Structure 1
C-alpha cells in the first residue's frame, strides 16, 4: 500500500483554519507523503458531491472539513461513509484517528510550525468561535466576541474574521441587510461591544458580486448586482454606523491583512477606553 495520501481539505469559508491545523497535524507523523487538495467556500450539497466524485477516483483519499452548517456536515460524512472515504471534522480527536488510520503512534511533540502551548490553544478556540459565528450565525452569545464586524454582502467580512481569529481574536461577522440584521443587544448597548463596520465603493462591489456569482454558478436577484441598489446599500450602512457611533473601514483598496491591522488598532483603543 502506498504511503502517499490524498488529503481533501473542505471548508465553507476561506480554508485558512484547515491549512493551519493540518500543518500541525502532519508534523505528528513521519515517513508519510501527502498531496493536498483544498476546496474553500463549499456551501451546497452539489459542491460536496462533486468533490467526493473526485476523491473517490484517488488512491488513499482522506477528507478533513470545517463546515458550520450541521446538515451539510452530516451530508458530507454520510456520503463519505457510503463511498468508504475516511472523513473527519478537524476539531475532533484527529491525532487519535490518524494514528489508527496510519497504524503509527503520534509523536505528541509540538510541531515545528506551531508550538502547542496555551497561546496556540487560545488561537484554536478563537478560530472555532469565529467559524461558528460566521455570516450572522449563533447571535445569542455574541457578547463573547472580542470583535464584531458588520457590512453588506462581499465586504471581506469572512476572510477578515478568519485572519483575526488566527491572531487570537474571537470575531463574529454579521451581514448587513437592514437594521433588523443587527441584534437588539448591539442597538441597546452600542458602545459596550467592539463593533466595526466594513464598507467599500459600490462600483467595486458590483464587480466582486458578479465574479462571485459566476465562480459558484449561482444566481441571485438582480438587486444583488444592481449598481443603484448597491449604492443605497452602502450609503444605508454608512448612516447606520454613524447612528451608533461605530467606527468603519473602507476596504476598497485594502488587503485583508491591512484591514485586520486597522481593526486591531481600533480594538486596542476600545480596550484602553473600557479599562481606563
Structure 2
C-alpha cells in the first residue's frame, strides 16, 4: 500500500478558499506525503462522477470540497460514500449554522466572495495604489496611504505591502537608507498615517542580500552585504523607529502572512487612537 495520500480538492469556484484551508490543515501533520489534485468550477454531477472515478483508482484518496449548491454537495457525499472514499465538506455545516444564527437563508451562489461590488473595487484600487507607491515612489501623496512600511533593504517590505493591498489596505513602502531618506512630510508629522517599521536579524539579512546580489550577478557592492555595516543599518533603523514612536516588527522568523496580521492589528490600534 502506498504511503502517499491522494488529496482531491473539489470546488465550485476558484478553489482559493479550499487551497488555504488545506494548507492550514496539512501544517498540523508532519512527515505525511501528499499528492494534491485540484478541481475548480465543478458544478455538474458529470464532472463530479469523473473525479470520483479517478479517485477510486488511487489508494488513500481523501476528498475535501467547498460546494454551496446543496443538491450537488449531497450528490458528491452520496457517491463518495458508495465508493467508500472519505469525503469532507469544509463549509457546509458552517453555512448551515450561520444561517440558523442569522435567521436568514444562504444564497448558495458559487463565487459569492468574488462579486464585483464596492469592496472588490476598493481592493483593486488598493492594489494599484500599492504598486505605484512601492520602494519610495510617489511620496508626494503618501498621506493617502492607510499604512506605510519603513525598513532597510530586504526586510520584506514589498511582498508584505502587496499582501496588505490584497486585504484592501493602500500601502506605501519606503527604504530606510538613513533618517534623511524619509519623506519630509513624515519627519515633520510622524503620526500622519499608520507607520510600521520592519527589521530583521543581521545574519539573516546578510544571507538575503547575498542571494539578491547573486541573482543580479553583482559583485562590486561589498558594503551592501558586510555584516558590520548591516548591524549599523539595523541599529540606526531601530533608533529611527524609537525617535518617531513607530511600532516595529522583527520579520526574521515570520512569514509575510504573520507579519501582515501583526501590521493589521497595529493599524486597528492606530485608528482607535486617532479617533
TM-score by length of 1: 0.58
Following TM superposition, by how much is the alpha carbon of 1:227 offset from its aligned partner in structure 2, in angstroms? Answer: 0.2
SS in 1 for 2:271: helix
Runs of 5+ in structure 2 lacking a partner?
1-40, 42-109
Structure 1 residue ranges (4+ consecutive) displaced by more than 3 angstroms after TM superposition: 110-113
Aligned 1:95-114 pairs, distance under 5 A? 114=114
Structure 2 CA distance, aligned partners of 1:196 and 1:230? 20
Aligned residue-pair number = 167
Following TM superposition, by how much is the alpha carbon of 1:218 offset from its aligned partner in structure 2, in angstroms? Answer: 3.1
Following TM superposition, by how much is the alpha carbon of 1:214 offset from its aligned partner in structure 2, in angstroms? Answer: 1.3
Q: State the Cα deviation string for residues 38-88 of structure 1 (Å, max 9, x = none).
A: xxxxxxxxxxxxxxxxxxxxxxxxxxxxxxxxxxxxxxxxxxxxxxxxxxx
Q: State the Cα deviation string for residues 200-246 of structure 1 (Å, max 9, x = none).
A: 00010000011111123234511100000000000000000001110
Q: State the Cα deviation string for residues 240-273 of structure 1 (Å, max 9, x = none).
A: 0001110000000000000000000000000011
Structure 2 CA distance, aligned partners of 1:220 and 1:271? 45
Structure 2 CA distance, aligned partners of 1:202 and 1:209? 10
Q: Which residue of 1 aligns with 2:209?
A: 209
Q: Does 1:173 align with 2:157?
A: no
Following TM superposition, by how much is the alpha carbon of 1:114 offset from its aligned partner in structure 2, in angstroms? Answer: 2.1
Q: Which residue of 1 aligns with 2:137?
A: 137
Aligned 1:159-238 pairs, distance under 5 A? 159-219=159-219, 221-238=221-238
Q: Which residue of 1 aligns with 2:38?
A: none
Q: Does 1:247 align with 2:247?
A: yes
SS in 1 for 2:114: coil
TM-score by length of 2: 0.59
Q: Which residue of 1 aligns with 2:71?
A: none
Structure 2 CA distance, aligned partners of 1:220 and 1:122? 43
Q: State the Cα deviation string for residues 101-160 of structure 1 (Å, max 9, x = none).
A: xxxxxxxxx967722111111000000000000000000000000000000000000000
Structure 2 CA distance, aligned partners of 1:124 and 1:249? 26
